[in-house]
Homo-oligomer: A and B are copies of this chain.
Amino acid sequence: MFMKDHVTKQARRAKEASRLLACIPVDVRNNALLAMADALEARQDEILEVNAKEVAAAREKATRLNMIDRLILSPKRIADMAEGIRQVVKLPDPIGTTDFEVVRPNGLKIRRVRVPFGVVGIVYESRPNVTADAIALCLKSGNSCLLRGGSEAIRTNKKISEILKEAAIANGIPAATIEFIGIIDRDAVVVMCRLRKLVDVIIPRGGAGLIARIVEHSTVPVIETGTGVCHTYVDKAADLDMAVKICFNAKTSRPSVCNAMESLLIHKDIAAEFLPKVAKVLTDANVELRGDDACREILPDMNEATDDDWATEYNDLILSVKIVDDVDAAIEHINRYSSQHSDAIITEDTDAATRFEQLVDSAAVYVNTSTRFTDGFEFGFGAEIGISTQKLHARGPMGLEALTTMKYLVDGDGKVR
């Protein structure tokens, strides 16, 4: 009960503060953000000290190496966080604009204005930079944030949020617009995502397990982000050299991120020629290939893909490979197993490309391009709070506008209906 009360109180404070924040001009928000970026750099030693202890504890617990890599901070990584905040300052103010206006024939004046959500709940895993990103994007968009980071980095995240909060308060931002939940109990997440009317939206940033748990329990609306089971389909009409280059980039340039390719589909007519080519460059780069029976007829040494592989986001140098009959079979496979994040076709046949674009039901559908481009900066939107893989409200890279809603303001001068 203590935990539940505590989280509820934090959310209530954040809600009350959000009403004040919504009225604070953009200059004040921007100045506070600049001061927050400076504070992060000025006080980096405090952060690094706390972080070093958490990294040591993680090593003792023999945590997986890539988890430790995500946990570790350095002066460079702190400078990147500060730079990220300064970038957010440069983005246009997403709130207060009127995006629709009409005077109805009866004289009713209707305006629709962009307003903040209120309280944005963000649940994330071990990367401490998310703390700074989330606080900056929420403050810029006029939202309070209620943050819950992973337990491995909880002290580092708490320290970062304290430093940012102190600088925000000193610059005219209401204190409770930044609330960090420091309780390690996992059920704090469940409590948080059931606080309807106090929390306006929950954005999970993390793996499929975290997202599934939140979707199961949440009564607050959720925006799902970041699960990436991304496909590349190499059509019979593909330029095979281009296809090799794109597959290599999509799989190996940064395998731990959500827009990396996890599954390769190959048209049966070109498989005998293409599969050995692409397999060579990928295995040279230490990628493990897991194929279906048809692949293993061409390359008998390839590991076998099980049914689970088709739906798995490896986040690692592993790739599932399947040979398909035609573009329709590729589309069907993708619509069944994709996380609806980013999927690509490689083809010189415009009919096949159009059919793929039309029928693949994903946030970003690519023609002759690496899936690695699904990213706020690459799309020209700037910093993002996540890549939405759902269809409601936001889809694909979510910039500041995705953190706003709208309301109708109606002036009727005594009108009745």
A residues with CB within 8 A of B: 19, 22-23, 102, 104, 108, 110, 117-118, 196, 200-201, 215-216, 219, 221-223, 239, 242, 245-246, 248-250, 253, 335, 357-359, 361-370, 372-374, 378-380, 390-393, 395-396, 405-417
**Do the beta carbons of A373 and B219 come within 8 Å of each other?**
no
Minimum CB–CB distance for A14 against chain B, Å:
14
Give the most central of A242, A245, A369: most B CB within 10 Å: A369
Minimum CB–CB distance for A12 against chain B, Å:
11
Closest to A22 in B: B358
Q: Which residues of B contact A379 (CB under 8 A)?
A: 102, 104, 110, 408
**Do the beta carbons of B118 and A408 come within 8 Å of each other?**
no
> For the complex, what is the distance from the CA of A365 to the CA of B406, rounded to whole Å?
11
**Do the beta carbons of B19 and A369 come within 8 Å of each other?**
no
**Do the beta carbons of B368 and A411 come within 8 Å of each other?**
yes
Minimum CB–CB distance for A20 against chain B, Å:
9
Minimum CB–CB distance for A110 against chain B, Å:
6
Chain copies in complex: 2
**Do the beta carbons of B391 and A117 come within 8 Å of each other?**
yes
**Do the beta carbons of A372 and B416 come within 8 Å of each other?**
yes
Q: Which residues of B contact A407 (CB under 8 A)?
A: 361-365, 395-396
Q: Which residues of B contact A364 (CB under 8 A)?
A: 407-410
Q: Which residues of B contact A118 (CB under 8 A)?
A: 361, 391
Closest to A336 in B: B197
Give the most central of A118, A362, A410: most B CB within 10 Å: A410
Q: Known: A378-B104, A411-B369. Contact between A416 and B357, CB under 8 A?
A: no
**Do the beta carbons of A365 and B405 come within 8 Å of each other?**
no
Q: Known: A104-B380, A417-B378. Contact between A369 and B410, CB under 8 A?
A: yes
> For the complex, what is the distance from the CA of A417 to the CA of B260, rounded to whole Å?
11
Q: Known: A221-B392, A222-B221, A406-B395. Contact between A415 and B104, CB under 8 A?
A: no
**Do the beta carbons of B357 and A409 come within 8 Å of each other?**
yes
**Do the beta carbons of A405 and B416 come within 8 Å of each other?**
no
> For the complex, what is the distance from the CA of A222 to the CA of B391, rounded to whole Å?
11
> For the complex, what is the distance from the CA of A22 to the CA of B117, rounded to whole Å?
31
Q: Which residues of B contact A201 (CB under 8 A)?
A: 391-392
**Do the beta carbons of B370 and A412 come within 8 Å of each other?**
yes
**Do the beta carbons of B391 and A23 come within 8 Å of each other?**
no
**Do the beta carbons of A373 and B417 come within 8 Å of each other?**
yes
Minimum CB–CB distance for A398 against chain B, Å:
12
**Do the beta carbons of A239 and B373 come within 8 Å of each other?**
no
> For the complex, what is the distance from the CA of A417 to the CA of B250, rounded to whole Å?
8
> 17 other contacts beyond A368-B415, A378-B417, with CB at 8 A cut-off?
A19-B359, A23-B358, A110-B379, A117-B391, A118-B391, A201-B392, A221-B392, A245-B414, A250-B416, A253-B416, A365-B410, A367-B409, A367-B410, A368-B413, A369-B413, A373-B415, A392-B405
